[in-house]
């Protein structure tokens, strides 16, 4: 009987394990995770759990008995250091080698720590449940939070901290937040939302000096010459993909990840998903790597389908969402802030969508409080047709989707 070994207890690994059983896989399934906690729902970490609205039992994806019922072995707090694809085995730190027939890697990433940022008791990052618990406890003792980086994680924590009544200062090196991913105009709206809720957003700024007392940071001096105090610091400047194990296994490393084919396969019997997968996407027709929770879970289910039912392309479009204050943001596809932006809806009322076009084709759609348009936008992306910008601004999207000719 085949044995499937899954390294990584995040969205990819957990989804792959349960989907394998659902699809009738009868072999052994082992999840090996360096995390000491069983798989949990990561979006809670920057929102409900951080704010104290839910407690630990709600965060976990499954009860312990679910793993027993589905015959999924959880090996927590164990780190895989290497292995041999030829011999079909993994080397486990402080443990015996682990044999596999099929290998799934959902390794995620490690929060990036810039070299100039000091190591201090109150300088934290957010990736794990343990991290979120530490930030939650620290926020309870703090009055002013300093956030380095205005990406989605930083923004969600900023929104949560404001709901808890904390002062929040965000320092972002770019002229506007998320400019590279979403474009300048969307970034300006994004910054305005936070400013309207009392967050001080300082863009085009860098930290010139860190002020410390003992083992704590107490403030910073910025490139504009201003001194700012803070009693808690969160560094949210992205992740470094965890690629040590793929390198040790000799898998193809490219574009900050592991190159996989259309079906998420990196080598014979070896599948890779989530943050570290550079996926040759069969719909978009190019390689993409996406660092979002929903994508990781989808990859896990796609990998399970390939293992249990035969290798096939994984066609689902990338999708992610973010809730901040009373704003729901959704994004489908994979575009760039440099693509042509076509707006639809009410910008001032924060109920709109932006289509990102490249050579007339919709590559991505971002929506604020506009779920219906976002869902239709996904169908426009999948069509791979050339659309007229004016039609996207005002035409009936259902008719555009159904029309055999371009809009």
Rounded Cα distance between 320 and 178, Å, is 15
Q: What is the pLDDT of residues 281-310, one digit of tens each?
A: 999 999 999 999 999 999 999 999 999 999
Span 199-218, mean pLDDT?
95
CATH architecture type of domain 113-235: 3-Layer(bba) Sandwich (3.50)
Span 38-67, mean pLDDT?
97
Taking a C-beta distance cutoff of 8 angstroms, is the pair 232, 122 a contact?
A: yes
pLDDT greater than 70 at residue 355 = yes
Rounded Cα distance between 266 and 7, Å, is 14
**Which CATH number fits the domain 326-402, given the four candidates 3.30.450.20, 3.30.390.30, 3.20.20.70, 3.40.50.300?**
3.30.390.30
For the chain, which residues make up each domain, given as ranges? 3-110+239-309, 113-235, 326-402
Which pLDDT score is estimated for 265?
A: 98
Which pLDDT score is estimated for 402?
A: 86
Nearest alpha carbon to residue 157 among 232, 219, 210, 60 = 232
**What average pLDDT does the structure give for the chain?**
96
Q: Encoding tokens for residue 33?
A: 């995770």
pLDDT greater than 60 at residue 407 = no
Span 2-7, mean pLDDT?
97
Nearest alpha carbon to residue 152 among 9, 290, 353, 348 = 290
Counting residues of the chain whose pLDDT is more than 70, the rounded percentage is: 99
Which pLDDT score is estimated for 89?
A: 98
Q: What is the pLDDT of residues 237-275, one digit of tens each?
A: 999 999 999 999 999 999 999 999 999 999 999 999 999
The band of 196, judged by pLDDT with boundaries at 50, 70 and 90, is: very high
Contacts of 112-118 with C-beta under 8 Å, sequence gap 24+, read 112/235, 112/237, 112/238, 112/239, 112/240, 113/235, 114/148, 114/235, 114/237, 116/207, 116/210, 117/148, 117/207, 117/210, 117/235, 118/210, 118/212, 118/217
Tell me the CATH number for domain 3-110+239-309: 3.50.50.60
- Per CATH, 3-110+239-309 and 113-235 having the same topology is answered yes
Which pLDDT score is estimated for 209?
A: 95
Q: Phi first, then psi: what are they for 136, rounded to 5°?
A: -55, -45
Residue 319 CB partners (closer than 8 Å, separation 6+)? 292, 294, 295, 298, 330, 331, 332, 378
Q: Encoding tokens for residue 69?
A: 């019922």
């Amino acid at each position: 009987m085949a044995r499937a070994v899954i390294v990584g207890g995040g969205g990819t690994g957990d989804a792959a394990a349960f989907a394998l059983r659902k699809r009738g896989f009868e072999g052994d399934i082992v999840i090996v995770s360096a995390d000491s906690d069983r798989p949990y729902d990561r979006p809670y970490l920057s929102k409900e759990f951080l704010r104290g609205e839910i407690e630990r039992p709600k965060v976990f994806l499954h009860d312990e008995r679910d793993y027993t019922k589905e015959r999924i072995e959880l090996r927590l707090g164990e780190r895989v250091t290497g292995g041999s694809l030829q011999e079909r085995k993994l080397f486990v730190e402080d443990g015996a080698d682990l044999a596999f027939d099929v290998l799934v890697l959902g390794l995620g990433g490690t929060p990036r720590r810039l070299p100039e940022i000091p190591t201090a008791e109150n300088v934290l990052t957010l990736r794990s449940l343990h991290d979120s618990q530490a930030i939650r406890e620290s926020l309870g003792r703090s009055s002013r939070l300093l956030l380095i980086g205005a990406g989605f994680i930083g923004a969600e924590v900023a929104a949560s901290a404001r709901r808890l009544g904390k002062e929040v200062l965000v320092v972002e090196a770019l002229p506007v937040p998320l400019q590279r991913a979403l474009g300048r105009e969307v970034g300006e709206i994004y910054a305005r939302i936070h400013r309207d809720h009392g967050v001080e957003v300082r863009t085009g700024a860098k930290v010139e000096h860190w002020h410390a007392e003992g083992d704590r940071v107490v403030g910073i001096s910025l490139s504009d010459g201003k001194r700012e105090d803070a009693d808690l610091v969160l560094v949210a400047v992205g992740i470094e993909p965890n690629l040590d194990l793929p390198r040790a296994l000799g898998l193809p490393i490219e574009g900050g990840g592991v190159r996989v084919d259309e079906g998420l396969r990196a080598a014979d019997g070896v599948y890779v998903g989530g943050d570290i997968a550079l996926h040759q996407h069969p719909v978009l027709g190019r390689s993409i790597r996406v660092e979002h929770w929903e994508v990781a879970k989808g990859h896990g289910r796609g990998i399970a389908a390939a293992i249990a039912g035969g290798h096939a392309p994984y066609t689902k479009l990338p999708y992610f969402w973010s809730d901040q204050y009373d704003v729901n943001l959704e994004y489908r596809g994979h575009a760039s802030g440099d693509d042509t932006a076509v707006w639809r809806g009410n910008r001032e009322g924060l109920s709109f969508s932006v289509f990102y076009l490249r050579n007339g084709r919709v590559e991505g759609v971002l929506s604020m409080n506009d779920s219906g348009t976002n869902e239709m936008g996904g169908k426009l992306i999948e069509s791979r047709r050339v659309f007229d910008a004016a039609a996207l601004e005002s035409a009936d999207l259902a008719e555009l989707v159904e029309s055999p000719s371009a809009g």
